[in-house]
């Protein structure tokens, strides 16, 4: 019998990623599928979570987590970097609770690639979680979603290199390096399709799956920004290799703020023979998951108009 998913619990549901993703997931769920959706939070958390979900509190001990996860079919982790290490304990509790699938906090770069982890050492923690899941495949299954940069959120907050207020663009290595990027609502759609389809759930277990709203470059995004705003933007050149080296030195000295430069240089910079943010050579699961075909200019306009993410 194909596995029918009924109960889904999110961890990290109030973060910059988790909040919008779970909100859109709920809109799909309410319209199409009978999931019971919950969010796991700390006992003393004051985070405001979307309406329509069950809130389950935990002190993150094994016993508390096992009790919280009892009856859940799928755990979706959207924990930030500070919480990545907690996932091993959560996985142990999920196994004891009988959870079927654990979706780790990936949702970004190809952390399985040695060169990517060399460029951004903190990604090693994410890889370790997948390796732990692999070691426990007889007890719990997993699926890791690789979506590249967060397109709409990254554009909004300046992470993609564009200051929307000052019309200033930081172009890494001329802005010509191809990379994959995905909108937050598209990640929601992918998760929903994975869990609502018994065949997708079965076929996509114990593997990385790649999705992307756009395979693009900074120059293509800049062209859309200039067209929509009707302004010529200031261009600031950034050397990816130099940014990577200086950011790594700062990060190794304990400067957590240098993580931004590390990821930006890895994604849009030319650090070697390969463009590490470019995963056009990987199999995309967009069609399999029924993801919408998206228009770059329309998505840029939605961010500029405050309609996304």
pTM of model > 0.85: yes
Would you give per-residue pLDDT tens digits along the chain (309 residues)?
Answer: 568 899 999 999 988 999 999 999 998 876 666 789 999 999 888 888 888 799 999 999 999 999 999 999 999 999 999 999 999 999 999 999 999 999 999 999 999 999 999 999 999 999 999 999 999 999 999 999 999 999 999 999 999 999 999 999 999 999 999 999 999 999 999 999 999 999 999 999 999 999 999 999 999 999 999 999 999 999 999 999 999 999 999 999 999 999 999 999 999 999 877 789 999 999 999 999 999 999 999 999 999 999 999
- Specify if 35 maps to a domain: yes
Determine the pLDDT at residue 172.
97
- The DSSP code sequence of 88-141 is HHHHHHHHHHT-SEEE-S--SS-TTSHHHHHHSTTHHHHHHHHHHHHHTTTT-E
Number of domains composing the chain: 1
- Specify if 50 maps to a domain: yes
Q: For residue 298, what are the CA distances in angstroms to 156, 158, 284?
A: 14, 18, 22
- Specify if 226 maps to a domain: no
- Specify if 82 maps to a domain: yes
- Specify if 223 maps to a domain: no
- Specify if 76 maps to a domain: yes
- Specify if 83 maps to a domain: yes
Domain of 117 in residue numbering reads as 7-149+181-212+278-292
- CATH number, domain of 76, equals 3.40.50.720
Contact predicate 40/11, CB 8 Å: yes
Which strand (E) or helix (H) includes residue 32?
A: helix 18-32
Contact predicate 280/181, CB 8 Å: no
Determine the pLDDT at residue 51.
82
- Specify if 227 maps to a domain: no
């Amino acid at each position: 019998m194909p596995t029918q998913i009924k109960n889904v619990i999110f961890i990290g549901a109030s973060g910059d990623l988790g909040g919008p993703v779970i909100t859109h997931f709920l809109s799909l769920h309410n319209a199409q599928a009978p999931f019971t959706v919950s969010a796991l939070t700390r006992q003393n958390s004051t985070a405001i979570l979307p309406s329509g979900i069950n809130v389950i509190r935990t002190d993150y001990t094994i016993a508390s987590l096992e009790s919280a996860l009892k009856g859940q079919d799928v755990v979706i982790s959207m924990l930030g970097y500070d919480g990545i290490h907690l996932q091993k304990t959560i996985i142990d509790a999920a196994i004891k609770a009988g959870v079927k699938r654990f979706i780790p906090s990936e949702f970004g770069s190809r952390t399985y690639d040695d060169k990517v982890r060399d460029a951004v050492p903190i990604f090693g923690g994410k890889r370790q979680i997948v390796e732990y899941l692999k070691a426990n495949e007889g007890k719990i299954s997993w699926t890791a979603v690789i979506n590249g940069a967060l397109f709409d959120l990254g554009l909004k907050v300046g992470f993609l290199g564009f200051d929307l207020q000052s019309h200033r663009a930081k172009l890494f290595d001329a802005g010509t390096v191809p990379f994959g990027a995905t909108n937050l609502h598209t990640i929601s759609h992918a998760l929903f399709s994975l869990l609502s389809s018994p065949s997708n759930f079965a076929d996509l277990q114990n593997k990385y799956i790649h999705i992307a709203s756009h395979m693009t470059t900074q120059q293509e995004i800049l062209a859309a920004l200039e067209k929509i705003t009707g302004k010529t933007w200031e261009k600031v050149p950034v050397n990816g290799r130099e940014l990577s080296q200086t950011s790594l030195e700062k990060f190794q000295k304990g400067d957590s703020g240098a993580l931004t430069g590390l990821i930006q240089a890895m994604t849009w910079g030319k650090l070697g023979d390969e463009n590490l943010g470019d995963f056009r050579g990987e199999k995309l699961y967009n069609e399999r998951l029924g993801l919408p075909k998206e228009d770059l200019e329309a998505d840029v306009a939605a961010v500029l108009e405050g309609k996304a993410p």
